[in-house]
Structure 1
Amino acid sequence: MIIKMHQIVPGQIEQQDPELLVLLVPAGQSGFTGHDYPQALTDTISHYQALGDWHEKSKYLLCLSPTQIKAKRLLLVNTDMDIPVSQARQTSQLIDGTLKQLNLTEAQLFMPPWLTNSQRLIHALYHASYRFADYKTSPQPALPEKIELLVCNDELQDELAYATALHTGKCISRDLANMPGNLCTPTYFAQQALLLAERYSSITTEILDEQQLAELGMGAYLAVGRGSAQPTCMPVMHYRGTLSDVPTIWVIGKGITFDTGGITLKKPPGMQNMIYDMCGGAAVAGLMAALAELKLAVNVTGVIATAENMPDGDAFRPGDILTTMSGQTVEIISTDAEGRLVLCDAITYARQHNPALIIDVATLTGAQIVSLGSHASGLMGNSPALNQALEKAGEDSDDRAWTMPIWPDYQEPLDSPFADMRNAGSNSPGMITAGCYLARFAGDTPWAHLDIAGTSFHYGTGNSATGRPLPLLLQFLRNYSNLSAAQWSIDTDACGFLP
């Protein structure tokens, strides 16, 4: 979808002559009285009121031959003045569906001055317009949609630019996530990371192959892909948004392109959903593109911790003991707890580069879905200040996260009689235990972990990647870039509280 903005005064609305004009009516009111709309619009609504087609409890009305105005079609939508997220999504889906129903490609939407949180509607319009370029041999032709926003001032211009950059990143993320595992392999992931560096001058990309990962001592990372015919790698993307010598933020995404569970084989029903086990890596790729589009004044390194977890004669086994890049040893309880193995080595790698902070993003545990469903991502970390900043970014972007504890009390399930730790607990809170495991590798570096198993895609539906938590991450970096070094600080003494 292409969204553009055109500044008008309310009195010009009735002079617009688009194929479809969308007008928002204040909820609980039958018309535009008291909102400085021209008389022609009030007369139009009065006409449909007299017919009984429109009243204050109407949700919407499509008028194919509206009176008093030049638009060929009019879509009236009842909207709260402070539009909530759910209503923004419903309204955007209604507009998108109406365009398709009428076989139209363009519409005008008037953004009334009384509408607060109007940026939500812009974000929702972009989200609803997404189409996955699938692999059907006779696909339905996709009509390019264009929405012209009619506004009374240009205050939304910056928000439109932000929403457009976010949409660019989300399309990249969602396309990658929706691709089947036989096409989106670790090698393909690496190729896409290299393409981002070709597309944007502010991004440089390096690909660490298996030999380089072995030289770094990434025994846990490499074990995950041993059973696959697809070579393991680790794309590392550097975005430089400022020339100032400020510490770099590292964002690491789990990119398991297909997860069978390995020797600890998953149950077949629903295993096809494991193409989405790389949503964290996909979000990082989309984040880098969005940053470059916005030219945000931050320095960010994005890591895609990618491999394919398959069972074969060389696959790692339950009972194996692996040596991680940090030197710590791990007893394998379940090969299906593989995401934390690639992440722990990627976190150690990031720490060697003196990051300002580390955020990892992963579809890590089914327990996250049990705990929080699809409404909020699970948030864990060793820095209360960082957790609070991420929670705020989630509220600001309508992409919420909820902080879970990783107190020392939760560490016992990771105890191993043979190694420094196990990679999974037994009869323990799965999401929290996974966070406790990763915390052992973060040390005293400010670090946060986002478990997005329930928010990054919808179970049971195809092409269902949501692009989350990209909105949260981009908003966090936007908030970060607006602060001076004196304003933003994380008390490193409060990090690394684990024994």
Structure 2
Amino acid sequence: MKFNIITGPLEKQNASCIVTAIFNNNELSHLTKILDIISNNYISNTIKNLNNNENLNSLILYNVPNINSKKIILINCGNKNNLSKSDYKKIIFNSIKIIKTTQSKNILYLINNDCNIKNQNIFYNTKHLIININDILYKFNKYKTNNNNETVLKNIMIYSTKHEISNIQKSIKYGIIISKSIKYAKDLANTPPNICTPTYLANEVYNLSKIYKNLSVTIINKKEIKKSNMNFILSISKGSSENPKIIILKYINNSNQKPLILIGKGVTFDSGGMCLKSYKSMLGMKYDMCGASSILGVFIFILELKIKINIIGIIPSVENMINGKSIKPNDIIKSMSGKTIEILNTNAEGRLILCDALTYSQKYNPMIIIDIATLTGATITALGKNYNALYTNNSKLSNDLLIAGKMIDDICWKMPLSKKYNEKLKNTLADLSNVGDETGQSITAACFLSNFTTNTPWAHLDIAGTSTIKNNEIEEATGRPTKLLIQYIINLSSTFK
């Protein structure tokens, strides 16, 4: 699908249809009024004749006088003075739903010009129009034998006045690249686990380095993992015939700056190990690598736009399976940090591979560390599917992530990181247990990880709830928190000279 700018008289545009706004009490938006005047009040008169003073939800008008476009779709956008970001998303969703019924291919959108979202501008409106259209129309049908795309949309035209054209061009560029990044993250996460293995992930990243010459990639194999004493990454992988990989991505574009480290949990399938999951719990465990896929989506964005920042991505990737060599409950293993950990639950493997990755990340003298993981089901119990759970040791980093999430509609909720919860991880035989009791499990998981951090600003995003969504009972990846991290990086890079 293509997105492009159009200028000039609205009535002369040869779109299959024009999508434009009305508000409560059937008030016409600014651009809809212009179309109405050109059509000799055809639009307003039609509304008056149809609705008996009731609010219209939507209306399709055909062959409007003096308008080249064959159809005009009126979308009720609600209260024009009190539109939220979620309202705007619903408006776009409703418009796409109606467009599909018309079989239109070339669409001229005007609603991004006339919807006044609180504290936002035309840049936000246009960027999110593109992101949301791509999100709504996304389909993963790579493995269907008949994968014809049902979507008929070919071209989205976005109207601009001459004085806004530069701003809208930039917003279209950002919207397209962010959409591309989210799609990449979704496609990887949706790939079945017999294909998306640690080796497959490593090859995907290596292929990215062929496309983007400003990306440096290192793949650490099993032998090197053992040599580096990353014993938990090694131990978790023992139950699988798939070898572990640690995938390192380096993007250096600011010589005077310490790097931002992004660590993504890359468990390509999680059976639970010896503490075996139930059949229902095991379904969807291919999504246990959504932390990794979101990081790779972020790298697409920074590589495309050549952001002035240094970023290093670290993806510890394993399968957590079961055989005679699998780790067992009560095993005690020494982590890369030197701390010993008694494994009380082999189904809590994510934090174990992350603890080695966190220790490994210190070699890069990082500015900030953010780890992203589908870590605990307890997060879903606490926050549902809307909020990314945010844990951090740094108030500025916390505020920056919360602000970024609100800016791009990929929101976080700050969770407590209290020393009291660390008490639950005390162990008489080792330095730590890998789980606490049955209370506060998302918090104790974050506290566990905090034992492998230093004074470097660090944040942990538990995305167990936000990384997937069910559509018609089928679980699919959302691509979150790719948008959040992208916006955070945009904001962060703007502070550097």
Summarize deviations over 1:150-199 as a string: whole Å, max 9, x none.
Answer: 12222222222211111111111000111111111111100111111111
TM-score in terms of structure 2 length: 0.92
- The answer to whether the 8 A contact 2:39-2:64 is kept is no
Q: In structure 1, what is the Cα distance between the partners aligned to 2:29 and 2:41?
A: 10
Q: 111-120 or 430-439: which moved more?
A: 111-120
The correspondence for 1:17, drawn from 7, 14, 18, is: 14
Q: Give the aligned CA root-mean-square deviation in angstroms.
A: 2.0
Residues 33 and 231 (structure 1 numbering): CA distance in 2 closer, same or farther, change over 3 Å?
closer
| 1:313 aligned partner | 324
| 1:139 aligned partner | 147
Task: Give the 5 Å matches for 1:86-485.
Answer: 86-110=86-110, 111-113=112-114, 115-116=116-117, 117=120, 118=125, 119-142=127-150, 143=152, 145-152=154-161, 153-154=164-165, 155-242=167-254, 244-459=255-470, 461-462=473-474, 464-484=476-496
Q: 161-170 or 120-129: which moved more?
A: 120-129
Task: Give the 5 Å matches for 1:45-60.
Answer: 45-52=43-50, 57-60=55-58
3-state SS of the aligned residue for 2:34? Answer: coil
3-state SS of the aligned residue for 1:360? Answer: strand
- The answer to whether the 8 A contact 1:45-1:54 is kept is no
Shift of 1:253: 0.6
Identity %: 32
Residues 54 and 105 (structure 1 numbering): CA distance in 2 closer, same or farther, change over 3 Å?
farther
- The answer to whether the 8 A contact 2:220-2:247 is kept is yes
- The answer to whether the 8 A contact 2:22-2:32 is kept is no
Q: Which amino acid aligns with 1:31?
A: L
Summarize deviations over 1:185-231 as a string: whole Å, max 9, x none.
Answer: 11110011111111112211110111111111001111111101111
Residues 178 and 222 (structure 1 numbering): CA distance in 2 closer, same or farther, change over 3 Å?
same
Shift of 1:78: 1.4
3-state SS of the aligned residue for 2:180? Answer: helix
- The answer to whether the 8 A contact 1:169-1:286 is kept is yes
Q: In structure 1, what is the Cα distance between the partners aligned to 2:453 and 2:491?
A: 23
Q: In structure 2, what is the Cα distance between the partners aligned to 1:477 and 1:54?
A: 51
Q: In structure 1, what is the Cα distance between the partners aligned to 2:195 and 2:53?
A: 52
**Any stretches of 5+ residues in structure 1 without a counterpart?**
486-499
Q: 307-316 or 20-29: which moved more?
A: 20-29
Residues 340 and 232 (structure 1 numbering): CA distance in 2 closer, same or farther, change over 3 Å?
same
Shift of 1:146: 1.9
- The answer to whether the 8 A contact 1:322-1:330 is kept is yes
**Any stretches of 5+ residues in structure 2 without a counterpart?**
none
Aligned length: 481
3-state SS of the aligned residue for 1:442? Answer: coil
3-state SS of the aligned residue for 1:441? Answer: coil
- The answer to whether the 8 A contact 2:21-2:29 is kept is no
Q: In structure 2, what is the Cα distance between the partners aligned to 1:158 and 1:54?
A: 43
- The answer to whether the 8 A contact 2:26-2:56 is kept is no
Q: In structure 1, what is the Cα distance between the partners aligned to 2:357 and 2:450?
A: 13
Shift of 1:13: 1.4
Residues 479 and 219 (structure 1 numbering): CA distance in 2 closer, same or farther, change over 3 Å?
same
Q: In structure 2, what is the Cα distance between the partners aligned to 1:56 and 1:83?
A: 20
- The answer to whether the 8 A contact 2:21-2:114 is kept is no
TM-score in terms of structure 1 length: 0.92
Shift of 1:42: 7.2
- The answer to whether the 8 A contact 1:325-1:345 is kept is yes
Shift of 1:355: 0.7
3-state SS of the aligned residue for 2:448? Answer: helix
3-state SS of the aligned residue for 2:280? Answer: coil
3-state SS of the aligned residue for 1:352? Answer: helix
Shift of 1:54: 8.7
- The answer to whether the 8 A contact 2:333-2:341 is kept is yes
